[in-house]
Chain A
């Protein structure tokens, strides 16, 4: 399939709908040549599968962090007609509203470096990480219902975060229309003990220093004024609650595919017509997971603040630990773009509306970025950009190639203090398992869909 890709310019590539039978629209990949060459054939094939779905709007987008995933690549965006299209649990994936919060401080790198060896273990104790840790919050069913419908407003009412945090979160931290009656008892049971937990896999908490500021004016608006200023990045999702909602609706929508006679090139792209019960029920349930995840990140944000207070002996307000912004990676949203409404499915992709922050995570040994969205993103990618550097190596291969202890030692040599729930996490998430974040961010910057604002380098890393 890759041989059918045509160059539009140095950062945009077309896979025309004539590339194979059944494609309703073109697919497009945003990447420089080096990244394009590294994208797996199977991932490109997956993009063309999405282009076969009913009501899909041109084009289906692959972003430079794209890699083979469940049904469609991670790092992909597809938009569907708001009347004739579909809503797909498969296109959103298992980790609903996996996303990132960025938190700023007024601490300098020197102040933080001195305390890193105390700070990283203290954070590790404060934030339950990994599959073996128990959450500190135990919700009852009424509280969980409130989290599902009210999102971060529940957190603020219960002493986690402030109204300022709400304003600095995509969707103000709460999608309206979430309906707990559309969520299974099993999903709720999984959600009760897990609010305020990081999870594992690629989820992380990172202490970063600002290494470069490209857009001083915009950075200032975000409260980032100095090189060497310290920021915090938190990456996690809706935990078992969201995984179960995805699992439940993949089954429901697989049946809907037969019921509505939808031709699927891959059964993993389970979906239902936008106005069907199976489509709208998923959308209402997905919003519950979205709101849970926003709340999860804000609860942990507050615990991060409290930990900094203990270590630095100052209040978090004195350290100006405000949310820079919080964004989603895996989500379906009804959005108005250039006057038209679409169900935009972002999987491993970030909203990049004009002048809105875009947070892009690197690996535990490399840089991360804050960018800003653009008008061009509305024209080209349904207002979307990449979400990270994107995996380049399987976990299995990573375990063969890297030793966790060595990965941690290598980070130490770079001055990065790290802690994970086990050594395996270090090996599986080694920086060498990922694409070069610099190439990825250069691609979205040069394609004009999100522009570099700030570059951060890691100082301390916690992995689940």
Chain B
């Protein structure tokens, strides 16, 4: 099962779908999709870790907050991230450990300005989860 897929849809922005057999996997794969835009994720190590704990009004809101948190952490902690371990997740709460290394120009991608609500949808299809996310670039 693929982790995520970019879709050619938005003129100025980026749209992707992420998949997972569980919510943990879905949130982890969504973060990988996002991070692969911000940096060359394959070349980013796991030397430093951060703990993240978040709340949301709904599972979709939690997803937006999760991705938004990663975008903010790139700025505040000046790090690129390559691994996302979701420790706990419920409809409105998430705990995760995320791993990465300090930012560097040679591993840089592009700036993501924000997570938008355009086409935002988190759904369960049979036993799998799928989310559609668009990012403002």
Residues of A within 8 A of B (CB): 40, 43, 67-71, 74, 93-95, 129-134, 186, 189-190, 193-194, 199-201, 239-240, 243-244, 246-247, 250, 267-268, 391-397, 400, 421-422, 424-425, 428, 464
Interface residues on B, range: 35 or more
Is B2 at the interface (CB under 8 A from chain A)?
no
Set A186, A268, A397: member contacting B8, Cβ < 8 A: A397
Chain A: CB-nearest residue to B134 = A70
Cβ distance B69 to chain A, nearest Cβ, rounded Å: 9
Contact B109 A422 (CB under 8 A): yes
Contact of A267 among B9, B108, B117, B137 (CB under 8 A): B117
Complex Cα–Cα for A93 and B13 (A): 13
Contacts of B14 in A (CB 8 A): 395-396
Q: How far is the CA of A268 from the CA of B116 in the complex (A)?
A: 7
* Complex Cα gap A268–B115 (Å): 11
A394 touches B9 (CB 8 A): yes
* Distance, CA A247 to CA B136, complexed state (A): 11
Question: CB within 8 A of B113: which of A95, A132, A421, A464?
Answer: A95
Given A67-B12, A393-B11, A134 contacting B110 (CB threshold 8 A):
no
Complex alpha-carbon distance, A250 and B61, angstroms: 12
Determine whether the beta carbon of A394 is less than 8 Å from that of B11: yes
Contact pick for B117, options A40, A189, A268, CB 8 Å: A268
Q: How far is the CB of B17 from chain A (nearest CB, A)?
A: 13
A-B pairs under 8 A by CB, number: 118
Contact present for A201 and B78 (CB under 8 Å): no
- Determine if A391 and B12 form an interchain contact, defined as CB atoms under 8 angstroms apart: yes
Residues of A within 8 Å of B116, CB to CB, are: 70-71, 268
Apart from A133-B105, A134-B103, A201-B113, what 16 extra A-B contacts exist at CB < 8 Å?
Answer: A68-B11, A71-B118, A93-B136, A94-B113, A133-B108, A189-B72, A190-B75, A193-B75, A194-B75, A201-B110, A201-B111, A247-B115, A394-B8, A396-B6, A421-B105, A428-B110
CB of B110 within 8 A of CB of A394, answer: no
Chain B residues within 8 Å of A267, by CB: 117
Contact A186-B109, Cβ < 8 Å, known A247-B114, A268-B118: no
Answer whether residue B68 sits at the interface, using C-beta atoms and an 8 A cutoff.
Answer: yes
**A301 vs chain B, min Cβ distance (A):** 21
CA distance A244 to B73 in the complex (A): 11
B68 to chain A, nearest CB (A): 6
Are A131 and B74 in touch, CB under 8 angstroms?
yes
Q: How far is the CB of A295 from chain B (nearest CB, A)?
A: 17
B122, chain A: closest CB distance, angstroms: 15
Are B111 and A199 interface neighbours, CB within 8 A?
yes
Closest to B102 in A: A134
User: Which residues of the partner chain A approach B80 to less than 8 Å between Cβ atoms?
Assistant: 132
Question: Please, which residue of chain B has its CB at the minimum distance from the CB of A190?
Answer: B75
Q: Which residues on B sit within 8 Å (CB–CB) of A250?
A: 114
CB pair B76–A189 under 8 Å, yes or no, is: yes
Contacts of A395 in B (CB 8 A): 12-14, 137
Check A200/B110 contact, CB under 8 A, given A67-B12, A70-B13, A394-B12: yes
Residues on A with beta carbons closer than 8 Å to the beta carbon of B12: 67-69, 74, 391, 394-395
Verify A67–B11 contact, CB threshold 8 A. Answer: yes
B72 to A131, Cβ gap below 8 A? no
User: Across the interface, which residues of B come within 8 angstroms of A189, CB to CB?
Assistant: 72, 75-76
B49 within 8 A of A: no
18 contacts between A and B (CB under 8 A): A67-B12, A69-B12, A71-B118, A94-B136, A129-B105, A130-B110, A132-B80, A132-B106, A133-B103, A189-B72, A190-B72, A193-B78, A194-B75, A199-B111, A200-B110, A201-B110, A243-B114, A246-B114
B76–A186 CB distance below 8 A = yes
Structural contact, B110 and A131, CB atoms closer than 8 A: yes
Known: A94-B113, A243-B114. A132 touches B11 (CB 8 A): no
Known: A131-B38, A194-B75. A200 touches B111 (CB 8 A): yes
Contact A132 B76 (CB under 8 A): no
Task: Give the residues in chain A near B118, CB-CB below 8 Å.
Answer: 70-71, 268
Contact pattern, B 52-73, Cβ under 8 Å of A = 1, otherwise 0:
0000000000000000100110
Contacts of A194 in B (CB 8 A): 75
On chain B, the residues within 8 Å of A190 by CB distance are 72, 75-76
B22 at the interface (CB under 8 A from A): no
A422 touches B108 (CB 8 A): yes
Chain B contacts with A in 78-114, Cβ cutoff 8 A: 78, 80, 103-111, 113-114
A52 to chain B, nearest CB (A): 17
The answer to whether B114 and A94 have CB atoms under 8 Å apart is yes
- A428 CA to B13 CA, complexed, in Å: 11
B137: nearest residue on chain A (CB-CB)? A201
Q: Which residues of B contact A69 (CB under 8 A)?
A: 11-13
B residues in contact with A247, CB < 8 Å: 68, 114-115
Instruction: Determine the chain A residues whose CB is within 8 A of the CB of B105 once the complex forms.
Output: 129-130, 132-133, 421
CB contacts under 8 Å to A, within B123-137, are 136-137
Closest to B104 in A: A132
From the candidates B7, B74, B109, B136, name the one contacting A396 in the complex (CB within 8 A).
B7
Indicate if the CB atoms of A40 and B11 lie closer than 8 Å.
yes
Q: Smallest distance from the beta carbon of A91 to chain B beta carbons, Å? A: 14
Shortest distance between the CB of A114 and any CB in chain B (Å): 28
Q: How far is the CA of A421 from the CA of B7 in the complex (A)?
A: 24
Q: Is the CB of B72 within 8 A of A240?
A: yes
